[in-house]
Structure 1
Amino acid sequence: MKALFGELSAVASHRGWPRAPVNAGTWRGIGEALREGKLDLLGEWGDAAAVHCALFEPATRKLQIATHEAGSGAAPSLAVFHPPALRLERAIADLFAIEMVGLPDRRPWLDHGRWPDPAPLAQQRAAATPAATGATPPARAIERPPYRFLPAEGPGLHQIPVGPVHAGIIEPGHFRFTASGETVVRLEERLGYTHKGIERLMAGQDLEPASRIAARLSGDSTVACSWAFVQAVEGALDFRPPPRAVWLRGVMAELERIANHLGDIGAI
């Protein structure tokens, strides 16, 4: 981490974990460090003019956020070096219309050709949702060509499609099994059927309605999602909650965790 960020200046206005703007060379160095296992990728996301990644260095247990500008509509891909970044960068391309240069797989991830507004977060328009403005969305979405699943190549291979609606799946998802007899040699997933557009719903909201949205992200994880949201708010405001609040959050989170475990055991 020190070799990559030692001489870079952190953004003074960014509270919480340190964030530093980086150039293409440092971004490539991050990718190489991820490939070599020196860093862990905690997340990668975009905004209207940049791509960000959160990094963890196991050797020093330090966290760092890096930002690469994408003002021209493009940014280098980390997935070239680190395959776990692949879906994250496909989502960035769908939501922000940012070209991830070198991205090995350019198929859409979240955009299933049903969105009336392609790249809905490209301009971060805070009040652009129909719920906020009363506007009527376009009647037709932008049509996309059929999704290209990876082909079955090789003697004796066949494909078994499952989903997106199937009794054995908790939420919708299409799973394409490539099998040789009874041996599954590859599984390809296509998700995003129930993408809720939370980022756009959150944009421009006051804290109270935003907290209600966070609490409704997942019905069985209300405490966990609310806690994550309030930590982001407290970090942005540089606010430290009283110890009693932290203890109450911990107790509620444990009760929620136990309830989820009991529910899973009951479903066996």
Structure 2
Amino acid sequence: MLDSLIELFGKYHLIAAFAVIGLTMYLAYWVSATFTKGKLHGSAIAILIGLVLAYVGGVVTEGSDGLADVTLLSGLGLMGGGMLRDLAIIATAYGVQFSEIRQAGFRGVVALFAGVVVSFLAGGIIAVGFGYTDPVEITTIGAGAVTYIVGPVTGATLGASSEVIALSIAAGLVKSIFVMIATPMTARMIGLDNPRSAMIFGGLIGTTSGVAAGLAATDARLVPYGAMTATFYTGLGMLLAPTVLFLMVRAIA
């Protein structure tokens, strides 16, 4: 049976990737329900497991793509690529009722711009605090605090080093995991219990994975609304970070 599975995984790498991700998610949600009573969302645990496995894969194979460097698991490179990621993000918007979207109105737009600028400033200030003085490096790390997608896109656009781009991704991942954990704990205090507040929350926080997982642990019906504005947030960050925000940083630094 084991030989048959190895042969199947060797021929159909993407199927192997889905199987590995499915088992990881099952394990993560089991750990969440068993040991944290759902307070630490399964998605956050799954991300942590994924990071550990990626590190182990990189050490074992001495490659740069984590587990995707293992021949039988090379399908993880496709599954974790931009195509399926963007498809998953877009698919979350299909549960949205547009009557609720109109009610967010001007406040939703303000939340988007405020969320991007505040996150960028926080990341940039931390970068300066750690001794970074080059505008490109400050902008890249600040963009990473926006989301871990905006960071590398900005860094590649501005010609940042791979080390700084890696830091920007790390900043975004820390933010995403923190949002996953903190959202269900603070939802009642901030009135996060309706589609309108979920859209504003998604616009302010922005990290799609963090917002989606946090809202799923709070109220699954709110996920499409928060994820939708969080997706717009990512797009807005990609537009502003390497252009307007970079010019502002360069003027100051």
TM-score (norm 1): 0.26
Q: Which has the larger radius of gyration?
A: 1
> Per residue, is there more helix in 1 or in 2?
2
The structure richer in strand per residue is 1
Of structures 1 and 2, the one with the larger relative CO (CA 8 A, separation 6+) is 2
